[in-house]
Amino acid sequence: MTKLPTLATEAWLTAPALQRLFATLAAAGGEGRAAGGAVRNALLGEKVTEVDVATTLSPELVTAACAAVGMKVHPTGIEHGTVTVVVDHHPFEVTTLRHDVETDGRRAKVKFTDDWEADAQRRDFTMNAIYCDARGTIYDFVNGWPDVQRRRVVFVGDPESRITEDYLRILRFFRFHARYGHGAPDAAGLAACTRMKAGLDGLSAERIRQEMFKLMAAPGAVETLKLMAGHGILSKLLPYTDDLRVLERLPPDPLLRLAVLAQDPLSMPERWRLSNHEARRLAAIVSLMPPSPALRPQEQRIMLYQHGAEAWRDLVRVAWARSEAPLDDAGWRDLLELPDRWPIPALPVSGRDLLSTGMSPGPEIGVVLKKLEDWWLASDFQPTRDELLKRLT
């Protein structure tokens, strides 16, 4: 039998807030254990940023016990047994052990239990189904530790059964492989995802966007996207380009990668329910003229002023990736860093300034203001407010 490691000395585990939560659950007659991502990342030697806790107590008992000692409790997912407990300003999602009693491929009806193994058997991947108690003892009911050691994303039990419970697990399989996997993906899992890919049609745009953005920010994103394309998964999500060379040269920004991956980037805000900010970024990348190191310095400053710093950086990164220039090219690097060296100035005059000179309100204010701005840009942003107003006369 494989000897399991201990997490007893992990700083996140010994933190007073988490230990206080464990103690509160124990005092109420239950037990709490860290579950899922925190345990997985700790075993992989990666940073733990948040801790989810599984418990034998019902949501009502968790709420009562924690509130009684002054902790704030929020019913963030009460129908699935989850409450968020805030301990000394640290939030923890606390979820009652459960097993599925009915699923439709998108959501599940659950029944609460005090059986740790039953809870582990309903989870998606073996590396996500490992628990750790307050003392650092590891509990592995699904033989996940060997998969963690090999960095292999393996479904708990039968892959098709896990996918049938929630078809989003197809995307999670590829997302976790892109983030944590080494080598070829698990053959049984890949085959099941390929056979059941039609189930992706029933997923909401918001859930697809959430998983795909995480995937496209992962270290193995490009190779995983190739894998998804080869197995007919990617075409279920969007019409895509084959320009993977450009994707490989981009930084791990999912929005930039989407701008290059999608055949029609302007359709993606609706297709994946992107935020307004993400939609604006995509539109700028597609519609604005990209800068180039061949531009004269004044031309660069004018374009930066007109585009704004965020759009400028997006445009430079995409244009650089599409160029033949090496990724350590000094000219492109200087172009990317221009907003850091040259903060974008504001036009020194406003409509109110023009009114103060005796101009009448109306459309002419905007016309004159635009002419002054054009002269200010042509003069490399040098004229002052007084010089601009003087030009009116």
What amino acid occupies position 278?
A: E
Return the closest-CA partner of residue 110 out of 166, 63, 34: 166
Given this model, what pLDDT does residue 104 score?
52
| Residue 333 falls inside a structural domain | yes
Do 332 and 381 sit in the same domain of this protein? Answer: no
Residues 295, 382 within the same domain: no
For the chain, how are helix, strand and coil distributed in percent, rounded to 5?
A: 55, 15, 35
Residue 328: domain span = 288-341
pTM: 0.90
Residue 101: predicted pLDDT? 57
Asked whether residue 143 is assigned to any structural domain, the reply reads yes
Residue 93 is encoded by which pair of tokens?
A: 């999602």
Task: Please check whether residue 65 lies inside any domain of the structure.
Answer: yes
**Is 86 found in the same domain as 53?**
yes
Q: Give the pair of three-digit tokens for residue 257.
A: 């990668």
How high is the mean pLDDT in each 10-residue block of the chain (393 residues)? 87 97 98 96 96 96 97 91 95 91 58 93 96 97 96 97 96 98 96 97 96 97 96 97 91 97 97 97 96 97 97 98 96 98 96 90 93 96 94 80
Q: Which residues contact 372 (CB under 8 A, 6 or more apart)?
A: 347, 349, 388, 391, 392
Q: Is residue 71 part of a domain?
A: yes
Q: Is residue 102 a contact partner of residue 82, using CB atoms and an 8 Å limit?
A: no
Q: How far is CA 222 from CA 208, 211, 229, 319, 390, in A?
A: 17, 15, 11, 18, 56
- Bridging pattern class, strands 52-55 and 138-140: unpaired
Same domain, 382 and 292: no
Spatial CA neighbour of 28 closest among 2, 75, 64, 80: 64
Q: Are residues 292 and 383 in the same domain?
A: no
Residue 156 CA to residue 212 CA, distance in Å, equals 22
Do 72 and 7 belong to one domain?
A: yes
The CATH number of residue 144's host domain is 3.30.460.10
47 phi and psi angles, rounded to 5 deg: -65, 135
pLDDT tens track for 38-59: 999 999 999 999 999 999 999 9
Domain tally for the chain?
Answer: 3
DSSP secondary structure letters along 174-197: HHHHHHH--SSPPHHHHHHHHHTG
102: part of which helix (H) or strand (E)?
strand 98-103
The alpha-carbon radius of gyration of the chain (Å, integer) is: 27
Which residue carries 């929630």 as its tokens?
A: 166
Total Cβ atoms within 10 A of residue 330: 10
- Output the pLDDT for position 105: 47
| Domain finish residue from 100, 131, 150 | 150
Q: How many residues does the chain have?
A: 393
